[in-house]
Amino acid sequence: MAKKILRINMSELKAAYEPVPERWARWAGRGLTSHVIFDEVDPTCHPLGPHNKLVISPGWVSGSPAAPSSGRTSFGGKSPLTGGIKESNAGGLSSQMIAKLGLHAIIIEGQPPKGKWYLLIITKDGVKFEDASHLMGKGMYEVDEILWQSHPDTAVIGIGPAGEMKLSNAGISINDPENRPGRYAGRGGLGAVMGARGIKAIVVDDTGGPGVEIANQELFKQGRRKLTEAIQEHALTKKGGGLNAFGTAILINILNEAGGLPTRNFSAGQFEGAARISGEAMAEVIEERCKDGKGEGTTGHGCHPGCIIKCSNIYPNEDGSALVSCIEYETAWALGANCGVDDLDWIARMTRECNDAGLDTIEAGNALAVAMEGGVIQFGDGAAAMNLLSEVRKGTPLGRIIGQGAEATAKAFGVHRVPTCKGQSMPAYEPRAVKGIGVTYATSPMGADHTAGYTIAPEIAGVSGKLDPLSNEGKAELSLTFQAATAFIDSTGYCLFIAFPILDIAKGWEGMAESVAGVTGMNITGADVIPLGKEILKIERLFNERAGFTTANDRPPEFMRYEQLPPHNEVWTITDEQLDSVFAWVHEG
């Protein structure tokens, strides 16, 4: 049974199924959301106006049986944060459920009258539009709980108060297997795009859905097996490996050691409190507060069914009960080192606040750090940071500033050291100390985003070779390769963490491609990964050009060009020509 497009019109409160047009049939996940946006959204439209759209798509293999770690859902739209095209994907329950309903993508367009808010219930029978008044103003913890009372075991996609206010750092929450919010399509303000469609939450119930058709069972199974083996063999992704045992925050000490852990609003590359907020420290807290298997805290938590990497964690309160899931490396850094905060409990409370109010933690941490630089509160004061963050859900003017992210906060408080590219805050790797990731930040059509082309793999983690992070050599080419591979992986439904094993273990790379070919029946091999990824990048770049972006937007913030970063005392040294070489091919040939 062929997959369908579900098109939802919020002006008319109507939904309809459409066959998948030829030009979209090749794509899924990010590849599909970006193609739909490219084809249907005017690049010069206002992101919060009636002509932007929210597109949701599971990946190629999502929902297929036992494809390992394949529960990512892609969300796309024109970003209110960057003004460009945006795809943001996350784990949680939604990807597999949408796929099992036979949906290739959900396209949400139009706007209800001002002040009208809806809850959408998507089942095999179509879409119900319910009044959402009872959910308004509520955080995602409460929303998820309320919705599971009437719709147990469903996927819940929702926005917190930040999205209701259409703040440009509003993310989209997806519930995890235990119905916690916290799997976030966080970056780029897509929660505001959802809010601007008048939607507070979407329940997806796959009961009775047709499931995912597998075009070539043998090829799919072969690919799945190769990929699974590669994941299980790689030191970073295997059971008990780095990610499973310590979560992504294992990177805190590593980046600190490398002098690339941005500290106090990117004014240093090492944080004296790094060890106290590291993955190792987190594991110790969990161990101590949840002795002998008591309590809910844990590492090795899976954010979606079928994940075999399980890098998520549940951080416990002192009594062992769950405080929040999860504290990622990026989160521990953003709310920790970047704010000068070295207390995991404050970081955990702020993370929960972000998950509940509906904010991306990276952008939120950067906004807090910029506010600190602007003198609003002091660096290192976790309690004050928590208070400031709590303003967002209240909708106070201060909260509305912080809730828009770092750039808006900088403007409000006259700060010119703003670590953003295309309006989006940098994540937890300092471009002056790790040059390749700076190329990705600067040139990605998504704005500053580590996941858009994770050159950290060879520059820091020794995956796919080992490169000198301080060297400029080859970093433009490196970033492009990673950006293209990522655009492909973001289309598969697989978690990006399969990148580690597939880069190091050949059968993993092949297996990924074969599993996609097996599900879709398309003739895809490992050799097609980069070319297909580049096709996606190309339309994203073209959308951005039509929205008004030029190579001048492919630059790191000015202060990094003249301010030396301790301990290496390096400035940004990649030339504009190198940066411009990354996407020169878009207009060649």
Q: How far is the CB of 453 from a second copy (least distance, A)?
A: 21
Cβ 419 vs Cβ 333: under 8 Å = no
Which residues contact residue 408 at a Cβ distance below 8 angstroms, ignoring those fewer than 6 apart?
168, 367, 401
Q: Is there binding between residue 562 and a second copy (CB under 8 A)?
A: yes
CA 302 to chain centre: 16
Q: How far is the CB of 403 from a second copy (least distance, A)?
A: 9
**Binding residue for a second copy, selected from 95, 270, 355, 404, defined by CB under 8 A:** 404
Q: Is there binding between residue 401 and a second copy (CB under 8 A)?
A: yes
DSSP track, 491-503: HHS--GGGHHHHH
Residue 172's closest CA among 46, 77, 249, 248?
A: 77
Helices (H) and strands (E) in the chain, counts: 24, 17
- Which stretch, 296-304, 403-411, 499-507, 521-529, contacts a second copy (CB under 8 A)? 403-411
Q: Is there binding between residue 322 and a second copy (CB under 8 A)?
A: no
| CB nearer a second copy, residue 50 or residue 210 | 50
Residue 182's closest CA among 321, 360, 344, 339?
A: 360
Mark 169-208 with x for binding to a second copy (rule: CB under 8 A) and - for no binding.
Answer: -----------------------x--xx------------
- Rounded to whole angstroms, how far apart are CA atoms 404 and 163? 10
Q: How far is the CB of 445 from a second copy (least distance, A)?
A: 14
- Using CB under 8 A as the binding rule, the residues of this chain from 407 to 436 that contact a second copy are 408, 411-416, 418
**Binding residue for a second copy, selected from 167, 489, 513, 582, defined by CB under 8 A:** 167
- Rounded to whole angstroms, how far apart are CA atoms 402 and 351? 15
Rg (CA), the chain: 22
Tokens linked to 485: 């591979």
| CB nearer a second copy, residue 501 or residue 557 | 557
Cβ 427 vs Cβ 266: under 8 Å = no
- Which stretch, 144-152, 351-359, 399-407, 503-511, contacts a second copy (CB under 8 A)? 399-407
Size of the site for a second copy (CB under 8 A): 45
State phi, psi for 86 to the nearest 5 degrees.
Answer: -140, 135
| CB nearer a second copy, residue 196 or residue 307 | 196
**Binding residue for a second copy, selected from 25, 285, 322, 398, defined by CB under 8 A:** 398
DSSP track, 89-140: EE-SSHHHHHHHTTEEEEEEE--PSTT--EEEEEETTEEEEEE-GGGTT--H
Q: Is there binding between residue 557 and a second copy (CB under 8 A)?
A: yes
Tell me whether residue 566 is exposed, middle or buried, using C-beta atoms within 10 angstroms of its C-beta: 0 to 12, 13 to 18, 19 or more: middle
- Rounded to whole angstroms, how far apart are CA atoms 187 and 173? 11
- What is the bridge-based pairing of β-strands 312-316 and 103-109? unpaired
| CB nearer a second copy, residue 47 or residue 533 | 47
Tokens linked to 452: 């858009």
Q: Is there binding between residue 548 and a second copy (CB under 8 A)?
A: yes
- Rounded to whole angstroms, how far apart are CA atoms 58 and 46? 26
CA distances to 8, 231, 340, 398, 464 from 457, rounded to whole Å, are: 40, 15, 26, 38, 7
| CB nearer a second copy, residue 445 or residue 508 | 445
- Which stretch, 140-148, 171-179, 244-252, 550-558, contacts a second copy (CB under 8 A)? 550-558
**Tokens 């310590």 -> residue:** 246
Q: How far is the CB of 586 from a second copy (least distance, A)?
A: 15
- Which stretch, 354-362, 489-497, 518-526, 557-565, contacts a second copy (CB under 8 A)? 557-565
- Which stretch, 43-51, 149-157, 277-285, 506-514, contacts a second copy (CB under 8 A)? 43-51
Q: Is there binding between residue 137 and a second copy (CB under 8 A)?
A: no
**Binding residue for a second copy, selected from 168, 222, 248, 298, defined by CB under 8 A:** 168
Around Cβ 110, how many Cβ atoms within 10 Å? 16
Q: Is there binding between residue 547 and a second copy (CB under 8 A)?
A: yes
- Which stretch, 36-44, 67-75, 209-217, 219-227, contacts a second copy (CB under 8 A)? 36-44
Q: Is there binding between residue 442 and a second copy (CB under 8 A)?
A: no
Which residues contact residue 152 at a Cβ distance below 8 angstroms, ignoring those fewer than 6 apart?
none
CA distances to 231, 488, 502, 530 from 526, rounded to whole Å, are: 17, 11, 10, 8
Q: How far is the CB of 306 from a second copy (least distance, A)?
A: 37
DSSP β-bridge partners for residue 119: 130, 201
Q: How far is the CB of 455 from a second copy (least distance, A)?
A: 23
Tokens linked to 55: 């597109």
Q: Is there binding between residue 116 and a second copy (CB under 8 A)?
A: no
Q: Is there binding between residue 51 and a second copy (CB under 8 A)?
A: yes
Tokens linked to 501: 């094993």
- Which stretch, 99-107, 128-136, 357-365, 392-400, contacts a second copy (CB under 8 A)? 392-400
In one letter, which amino acid is 337? Answer: A
Which residues contact residue 37 at a Cβ distance below 8 angstroms, ignoring those fewer than 6 apart?
53, 55, 76, 77, 78, 85, 543
- Which stretch, 41-49, 102-110, 289-297, 579-587, contacts a second copy (CB under 8 A)? 41-49
- Which stretch, 164-172, 228-236, 320-328, 469-477, contacts a second copy (CB under 8 A)? 164-172
Q: Is there binding between residue 377 and a second copy (CB under 8 A)?
A: no
Q: How far is the CB of 375 from a second copy (least distance, A)?
A: 9
Q: How far is the CB of 398 from a second copy (least distance, A)?
A: 4
CA 391 to chain centre: 24
| CB nearer a second copy, residue 19 or residue 375 | 375
Residue 454's closest CA among 426, 482, 495?
A: 482
| CB nearer a second copy, residue 352 or residue 400 | 400
Q: How far is the CB of 167 from a second copy (least distance, A)?
A: 7
Cβ 388 vs Cβ 365: under 8 Å = no
**Binding residue for a second copy, selected from 42, 178, 213, 319, defined by CB under 8 A:** 42
- Which stretch, 53-61, 129-137, 166-174, 514-522, contacts a second copy (CB under 8 A)? 166-174
Report the interface residues with a second copy, using CB under 8 A: 42-51, 80, 165-168, 192, 195-196, 396-398, 400-401, 404, 408, 411-416, 418, 545-550, 552-553, 555, 557-559, 562
